[in-house]
Amino acid sequence: MASARYLDGLMAQMAQSADDKRDGHAYFLSQGSLDGACGPYCLFMALLICGVLERDAILDLHAGAKDRRTSLGRLLGMIERYAGLFRDGTHVDEIEQMLRKSYGGKLNIDAHDGAGAAVRDFVVREVQANKPVLVGVAFPGGAHWMLAVGVDCLDDNCEDPARLLLLDPGGVKPTVAPWNSMIELTPSRGTHPYYWWTNEVNVRFLYAVSLAPK
C-alpha cells in the first residue's frame, strides 16, 4: 500500500493553522514572480521548519531584524549584498556560505553536488532522517530551488520512495497537504531524467543542502 512520509510536525502544524483560522501554511513563503530569489525563500522556509526562526520575524523584517549581532541580521545583510544576483539564481556555494556565517552555530549544514543520482539519493536519505533539504534542479532553459519535506512511497515501511514531495516558493499555497510540488524519483532516459509532475517538465538534480538543529 502506498504511503507518504513528511518531516515531523508538518501535518500537525497544518491542522493547528486550520483550527486557528490562520492565513495559510505557517512554513510556506510565496516568492515574487520576477525576483529570482527562490533559493533564499527556500532557505527561510527551512529555518522555520528547524525552529531557529519565527515567521513573524520574516514578515516584519524592519522590526529589529537587521541587527547584525543576530543570526537573522547577519543573514539579511548577506542577502542584501547578493540581491543583484538573484535574478540569475543562487548557487549552492552562496546558500551554504550564507547559512554557515549566520546560523552555523545553531544548525548542522550538509551541502552536496555532483552527479544527479547521487544528489537524488542524498536528498531522499536526508528527508527520511527528518531534515528539510534545499534542492536545486535544472530543466531545459532554466533552474529552480525548492524545499524537500517528504517522500511518497510504494510501501508502508517507505523502503521504496517513488516521488519527492516539496514546497515550491513559486507554486500555489498548500492547503490540504504540507507540500505543493512533486518530482518522480525513478529516472527515464535523457539529460533531464526526473519528471516534475507539478510543472510537467523533466529535470535533473543539481545541488542539495540539508539542515538540522544542533
Q: What is the mean pLDDT of the segment spanning 181-206?
A: 96
pLDDT at position 214, please? 94
pLDDT at position 33, please? 47
Q: What is the mean pLDDT of the segment spanning 79-103?
A: 77
pLDDT at position 182, please? 98
Name the pTM for this structure: 0.89
Domain count across the chain: 1
For residue 200, give the C-alpha cell.
510537467
Domain holding 82: CATH number? 3.90.70
pLDDT at position 34, please? 43
Helix, strand, coil distribution of the chain in percent, nearest 5: 35, 25, 40
Least confident window among 71-75, 154-158, 173-177? 154-158
Average pLDDT, the chain: 85
Q: Give the closest residue to 209 by CA, choosing from 76, 90, 69, 112.
A: 112
Residue in the structure block whose three cell numbers are 525563500: 41
Q: What is the mean pLDDT of the segment spanning 115-142?
A: 94
Residue 66 has pLDDT above 80, yes or no: no
Residue 123 has pLDDT above 60, yes or no: yes
Beta bridge partners of 211: 109
pLDDT at position 56, please? 81
Rg (CA), the chain: 17
DSSP state of 177: S
Distance CA(59)–CA(62), nearest Å, equals 9
Q: What is the mean pLDDT of the segment spanning 74-78?
A: 87
Q: What is the mean pLDDT of the segment spanning 120-143?
A: 95
Residue 119 lies in domain: 3-213
pLDDT at position 149, please? 97
Of residues 209 and 116, more confidence is placed in: 209
Q: What is the mean pLDDT of the segment spanning 157-164?
A: 87
pLDDT at position 200, please? 96
| 3-class secondary structure, 205 | strand
Q: Which residues contact 121 (CB under 8 A, 6 or more apart)?
A: none
Residue in the structure block whose three cell numbers are 532522517: 129
